[in-house]
Amino acid sequence: MHISEGILPAPVLAAGAILSIGGIALGLKKLDHERIPQTAILSSAFFVASLIHVPLGPSSVHLLLNGLAGIILGWISFPALFIALFLQAILFQFGGLTVLGVNTFNMAFPAVAAYWACRPLLKRPTKLNIGICGALAAIIGVGLAGLFVALELAVTGQQFVPVAKLVLIAHLPVIAIEAVITTVVLGFLVKVKPEILGIDIM
């Protein structure tokens, strides 16, 4: 779901950069030494998952796993996903440096939103709550990211409105796949490493 360079107008690029800088700064303040390994693993998971993508006009369709990253990292998702997107831009020309701020915000803000939506459910990690959390993380993470991309394309010009609609529709299967993946991973973490999710199971 990377937006390519040369598509968005300067005001949108500037707004994305400012918002992302704020999110990264806040995330770095919350990042301590103990959470660096988690951050690195989830940044790598996002990097690998989004390498396999299907081009879709000025954007692309691929797995994100930003909802899962958000549940575990919270605001630290901003620096984690920024690093992954930066490396993709440098190594594979996915997105680009001028749209790095916008792409970071599109991925990381939904991750933080998924964190706030799912954390209350994980205080009682029943199978039902884990399933609901997995679905919410996918809907919020992928759905909100797709909505941001669609809106940014739509405000760029009428010629991008059809592509904006296509971006939203094309990510519906991605939401379903990520809901399953996130539910399985959360269920596994609850059993073997609940402290990663901030859960105390006696």
pLDDT, tens digit (0-9, with 9 covering 90-100), for 141-159: 999 998 998 889 888 887 7
CATH topology for 10-197 is Arp2/3 complex 21 kDa subunit ARPC3 (1.10.1760)
pLDDT at 140 over 60: yes
pLDDT at 136: 96
Please report where in the chains the tokens 């379903």 appear, as a residue: 176
**Three-class SS state of 6:** coil
Angle between helices 127-138 and 172-192 (to 10 degrees): 140
Give SS3 for 135.
Answer: helix
User: Percentage of the chain surpassing pLDDT 70?
Assistant: 94
Calculate mean pLDDT across residues 166-182. 88
Contacts of 21 (CB under 8 A, 6+ apart): 101
* DSSP conformation class of 61: E
* Burial of 126 (C-beta count, 10 Å sphere; 0-12/13-18/19+): exposed
Give residue 20's identity as a one-letter amino acid code.
S
User: What local confidence, expressed as pLDDT, does residue 43 receive?
Assistant: 95
Q: What is the pLDDT of residue 12?
A: 94
Looking at residue 62, what is its pLDDT?
80
Residue 163 has pLDDT above 90, yes or no: no
Q: What is the mean pLDDT of the chain?
A: 90
Report, as an integer, the average pLDDT of 114-140.
95
Q: Which of 112, 49, 55, 52 is nearest to 79 (CA)?
A: 112
Residue 110 has pLDDT above 60, yes or no: yes
Mean pLDDT of 77-91: 95
Percentage of residues of the chain with pLDDT beyond 90: 67
Which residues pair with residue 102 across a beta bridge?
Answer: none
Non-local (6+) Cβ contacts of 188 within 8 A are none
pTM of the full predicted structure? 0.90
Residue 57: the pLDDT is: 60
**Residue 59 scores a pLDDT above 60:** no
Strand-pair partners of 81: none
First to last CA, the chain: 41
Judge whether residue 66 has pLDDT over 70.
Answer: yes
Higher per-residue pLDDT: 179 or 157: 179
Judge contact between 78 and 23, C-beta under 8 A: yes
